[in-house]
Each structure stands twice: as C-alpha cells, then as structure tokens.
Amino acid sequence: MLDSNEITLCRQFDRLKSSLNRFLIQLDREAAAAWIFDLEKNEYSDGEARQRLAAVLEQLEYPDDRDGRETEICPGIVGASPKLLHLAADLNETRESFKRAVLEVNRKDRETAHRIMKQQGYARIHFKQIYRHLPILLKKPDSVRFTWGMTRSIKKISRQEAYRKLIALTGDNPTLGFQRQLEALAAHPKDEPIAIVQDLKPHIKANVCWVKGTGRDKEVTRKMISAALAVLIPLDPGERLPTYSAAYPGSRKPRKSRADVKIEAEAFLPSIRGHRYLE
C-alpha cells in the first residue's frame, strides 16, 4: 500500500511522461534548422539532429552495460517554434516536480523511489538523466560557442575532522603511509583549517552571445549556460542558425591557476585530498 508521498511520486512520473511525449511529437513536426554534435566529432543537421535529441530524451533508464551515474549528452542548437519552446518549458517544470517528489519519498529511505519505479516497470530508472533541464533561450543569439568547463570543490574542515576521516579509512592498524599522514596532521597547528580538494567531472557549457548595434554603439551581451542537452532557440523555418562551434574534451585548455588560490598545490594528506592553506 502506497502512502500519499509515494502516490504523488507516481503521479508526477506520469505527468513527466505525458509532457515528454507531447514535446517529442512536436519536435518531430518542427521544420526549423538544427545542429547537434557528439564526442566522436560527428555532426548532425535538421531532422537528423532532432532525432538525436529525441533519442536521448527518451532514455528514462540506463542500459545494462552502462553505469547509472553516467549521463548521455546531446549538445547543439535546435531551432524551435513558440509551441515547442512552450512544451520545453513545461517539460522542465515536470522534471523538477518529479525530482522534488523523489527527494520527498527518499527522506526516510534512499531506495524508496527506486523500489516504486521498479514496481512501475522502470527497474533501471536514470534519475540523474531525467532531472536535467532543456536549455531554453527566448531570444535568438548571434553566436553559440561550446566549451568544456573544469571545476573543483574546496571544503574547509578542522584538524579534528581530518583526523576522524583518516582513522575511518585506516582503522586500528595504519600502514606506513597512513602513519606518516597522521604524524603530519599532528604537527599541523590545531587552529588552522585544512582544505579538502576534489576535482569535479568536466562538463560542457555554451557561451552565448548577443550583439546589438555597430561601431561605437555596439553592445555585446554574453551568457554562459550548461549545455549537456541541445540549446533551444526561437527560429523560423528557413532562418539560419546563429554562428556556432563545437568543443571536445581533448581540446580543453589546461586550467590556469587562479591568482586568489590560497592552498598548497600538493596534498599533505593525500588519502583524504587534504591541503594546507597558504599564509
């Protein structure tokens, strides 16, 4: 017997599927220009590009041979009619409502949503992929250039917290490597925090640009958006896409050191990625 939150989850999932179906039907009817690229450096145009986007959006489950944490990307630009833009916004809203319902039922047990979705016939449901929004622009840009971002997470913890993390990993019989880290930590000033640094997975973004006027009156507006899925822009049939360029992980420029970085480059507690702060 399902409780009220679990019933809400099922209803939100049904809403999401209905919204997705309406979007895909209209996407198939569209006639505006479109362009999609993949990581094998293939490029697809117009109807074929829309088919590629539809195929990714239809993947509500992850395949048997894939890690459920991995997501399928489909970067590019898809020209859209006002109706398709409206349906895309509705799809984004239903995805967000479904995500909230999942988080609510998982508050007591993190596996509840998986169990319910399995009962609904989706044993390998891909929550992370379903949650993603379609990027929507309501004004046609002059250019869309894709790039790969590389970020990292830095969390400040106390010496005592670092000690607990190390002990949790090593137990009562630390190896020589752990002993050296524990000794380095013991020599670390008690009141100085430690930075836990984690490099995050590269992600694709779109650098969107609008240009107004010319010469001295020229105004340029830029916006950077996440673009794992194709960016939808208003476009009439026969109208050209904005200037665009693809990007691939291998062509990503090495990340430059920031001028305000205030932690040592090398971790003195490598097992927990612990770095000292510079003075």
94-125 pLDDT, tens digit each: 999 999 999 999 998 989 999 999 999 999 99
Mean pLDDT for 48-72 is: 86
120 vs 88: CA distance, rounded Å: 25
| Cβ 85 vs Cβ 136: under 8 Å | yes
Q: Does domain 4-135 have CATH number 3.50.14.10?
A: yes
Q: What is the pLDDT of residue 101?
A: 96
Please state, as a whole number, how many other Cβ atoms lie within 10 Å of the Cβ of residue 100: 12
Q: What is the pLDDT of residue 207?
A: 96
Q: What is the pLDDT of residue 66?
A: 62
258 pLDDT higher than 70:
no
Q: Residue 47: what residue type?
A: G
pLDDT tens-digit profile of 241-256? 999 999 988 655 555 5
181 pLDDT higher than 60:
yes
How confident is residue 68, by pLDDT bands cut at 50, 70 and 90? low
Q: In which order are the strands placed within the sheet that holds 219-226?
A: 219-226, 203-212, 143-149, 243-245
SS3 (DSSP) at 21: helix
Q: What is the pLDDT of residue 3?
A: 84
- Closest among 153, 182, 154 to 268, alpha carbons compared: 182
Q: In which order are the strands placed within the sheet that holds 152-157?
A: 152-157, 194-199, 274-276
How do 143-149 and 43-45 pair as beta strands?
A: unpaired
The boundaries of every CATH 3.50.14.10 domain in the chain are 4-135
| Cβ 166 vs Cβ 271: under 8 Å | yes
Q: What is the pLDDT of residue 251?
A: 58
In the numeric block, which tokens belong to residue 222?
């830029």
11 vs 94: CA distance, rounded Å: 11
In the numeric block, which tokens belong to residue 242?
């904005």
pLDDT more than 90, % of the chain: 64
42 pLDDT higher than 90:
yes
Least confident span in 15-19, 137-141, 219-223, 262-266: 262-266
Identify the DSSP state of 251. Answer: G
How confident is residue 239, by pLDDT bands cut at 50, 70 and 90? very high
Q: What is the pLDDT of residue 252?
A: 54
2 pLDDT higher than 80:
no
Cross-strand pairs, 77: 35, 231
Label residue 52 left, alpha or beta by phi (over 0 means left) and psi (-120 to 50 means alpha). alpha
- Closest among 35, 133, 26 to 82, alpha carbons compared: 26
271 pLDDT higher than 70:
yes
pLDDT tens-digit profile of 114-173? 999 999 999 999 999 999 999 999 999 999 999 987 667 788 999 999 998 888 887 777
Mean pLDDT (the chain, rounded) = 90
pLDDT tens-digit profile of 75-92? 999 999 999 999 999 999
123 vs 11: CA distance, rounded Å: 17
Identify the DSSP state of 109. Answer: -
Please state, as a whole number, how many other Cβ atoms lie within 10 Å of the Cβ of residue 245: 11
Q: Residue 128: what residue type?
A: K
Q: What is the pLDDT of residue 4?
A: 87
